Amino acid sequence: MSGRIAAMELGGTKTVVAVADADGVLCEEYRFPTTTPKETMNIAVSWWRARGEVARLGIASFGPLRVDPQAADFGTFLRTPKESWQGFSFASYFHNHLPGVPWFLDTDVQAALLAEMTYGAARGLSDVLYLTVGTGIGAGLACGGRLVHGTLHPEMGHWLVRRHADDSFVGLCPFHRDCWEGLASGPAMWQRWGAAAHTLPMDHPAWDMEAFYLAQGLYTACAMVSPQRLILGGGVSQATGLLDKVSMWMDRFSQGYFESLGARVVAPALGQQAGITGAIELALRGDKKLPS
Ligand code: ADP
Ligand code: ZN
């Protein structure tokens, strides 16, 4: 393989673009706010072009998004609350603006998981869950060494959880109200407690409730696919002591039925770099998205 790799991590609020050499070693990156599709994509393409010819392209994006290359609408945004992106097609855009350049796409969380499995906290493992808890809740999943997509891609942020006995907050998911994301995302904490998550002291009851909710989803994932490791990423997960509380709640839910669930939860190793590293990795691996 030769030539430069261009990569993009498209987030709901910010975008990261990067160029890497043919071996996937990051050379330079640039961050800017995500606005409309046209403006955001034009900034990205101009930035890549100014750094030389692009040989391959990797995209890690927020969703929901059609990531199946066989689908007729591959690379198109589905029903996202970010309305200006709904219906936007990476396929049409790249066809017009970077014709002939092979491009590879996955969700931001699947890409972050791929990066953690290749270089980070889950190296050498085959069955891993990556959870990000920030403005929303998103999960990436690998089983048997393969990234799992199904007919769309995992959307665990929208699965349903049992309510905490002291919680009367209605939930803020625009589709389901009190799904996992609706009850446990950063903005949900803010609305429930009247203060941003990062300003709440660790002895505030918010954190035990947050751990109760996060542990439930992770516990359910363990019951379903039995991952070797669960990586807890995103802004909210950085709260001091939260990871230990989540581990404790998982073991409490388990009641001794599953072996050492709590011990499988770890912090990410790549931090903020996981998404863009994963986007580079997508381009590098092409159709072989198998962490080896
Ligand atoms: P995004 O989801 O937009 O990528 P983040 O993952 O940084 O952004 O998540 C933002 C959320 O994380 C906010 O609700 C913020 O209050 C919360 N947050 C950020 N840092 C911390 C921290 N150190 N402790 C607790 N919460 C945090
Ligand atoms: Zn929902």
- State whether the beta carbon of 239 lies less than 6 angstroms from ligand 1: yes
Q: Does some domain include residue 115?
A: no
Asked whether residue 116 is domain-assigned, the answer is: no
Is 137 among the domain residues? yes
Least-confidence region, from 48-52, 84-88, 137-141, 287-291 = 287-291
| Token code pair at residue 17 | 């673009």
Q: Are residues 152 and 94 in the same domain?
A: no
Q: Which of 77-86, 87-96, 123-132, 271-280 has the lowest mean pLDDT?
A: 77-86
- Structural domain containing residue 59: 4-107+279-285
Is 138 within the bounds of a domain? Answer: yes
- The answer, yes or no, to whether any atom of ligand 1 lies below 6 A from the CB of 82, is no
pLDDT tens by residue, 207-238: 999 999 999 999 999 999 999 999 999 999 99
The closest-lying atom of ligand 1 relative to the alpha carbon of residue 187 is 14
* pLDDT value, residue 114: 97
Assign 3-class secondary structure to the chain: CCCEEEEEEECCCEEEEEEECCCCCEEEEEEEECCCHHHHHHHHHHHHHCCCCEEEEEEEECCCECCCCCCCCCCEECCCCCHHHCCCEHHHHHHHHCCCCCEEEEEHHHHHHHHHHHHCCCCCCCCEEEEEECCCEEEEEEECCEECCCCCCCCHHHCECCCCCCCCCCCCECCCECEHHHHHCHHHHHHHHCCCHHHCCCCCHHHHHHHHHHHHHHHHHHHHHCCCEEEEECCHHHCCCHHHHHHHHHHHHHCCCCCCCHHHEECCCCHHHHHHHHHHHHHHHCCCCCCC
At residue 110, does pLDDT exceed 90?
Answer: yes
pLDDT at 93 > cutoff 80: yes
Q: For residue 292, tell me if it sits in a domain.
A: no
State the average pLDDT for the chain. Answer: 95
Based on its alpha-carbon atoms, the radius of gyration of the chain, rounded to whole angstroms, reads 19
Tell me if 290 is assigned to some domain: no
CA 249 – CA 36 distance, rounded (Å) = 41
Are residues 174 and 72 part of one domain?
A: no
**What pLDDT, on a 0 to 100 scale, did the predictor assign at position 1?**
53
Q: Are both 153 and 245 inside the same structural domain?
A: yes
Kindly state whether residues 90 and 146 are assigned to the same domain.
no
- Do residues 93 and 155 share a domain? no
Percent of the chain past pLDDT 90, that is, above it, reads 91
Residues 146, 228, single domain; the answer is yes
Give, using CA atoms, the residue closest to atom 16 of ligand 1.
Answer: 197
- Ligand 1 centre distance from Cα of residue 236 (Å): 5
CB neighbour class for 125 (10 Å; exposed up to 12, middle 13-18, buried from 19): middle
Same domain, residue pair 94 and 128: no
Whether ligand 1 lies within 6 angstroms of the CB of 261 is answered as no
Report the CATH number at residue 226.
3.30.420.40
Residue 292's pLDDT is 39
- Based on the structure, what is the number of domains in the chain? 2
Same-domain check for residues 159 and 250: yes
Query: Is the whole-model pTM more than 0.85?
Result: yes
Mutate which of 135, 210, 243 for ligand 1? The one with the most ligand atoms within 8 Å of its CB, which is 135
Q: Are residues 92 and 125 in the same domain?
A: no
Are residues 167 and 201 both part of a single domain? Answer: yes
Residue 201 lies in a domain: yes
Ligand 1 pocket test: pick from 236, 238, 240 the residue with the most ligand atoms within 8 Å of its Cβ.
Answer: 236
144 and 63 both lie in a single domain = no
Separation between Cα atoms, residue 109 and residue 106, nearest integer Å: 8
Query: For residue 114, is it within any domain?
Result: no
Say whether pLDDT at 287 is over 80: no
Residue 233 alpha carbon to ligand 1 centre in Å: 10
Whether 98 and 178 share a structural domain: no
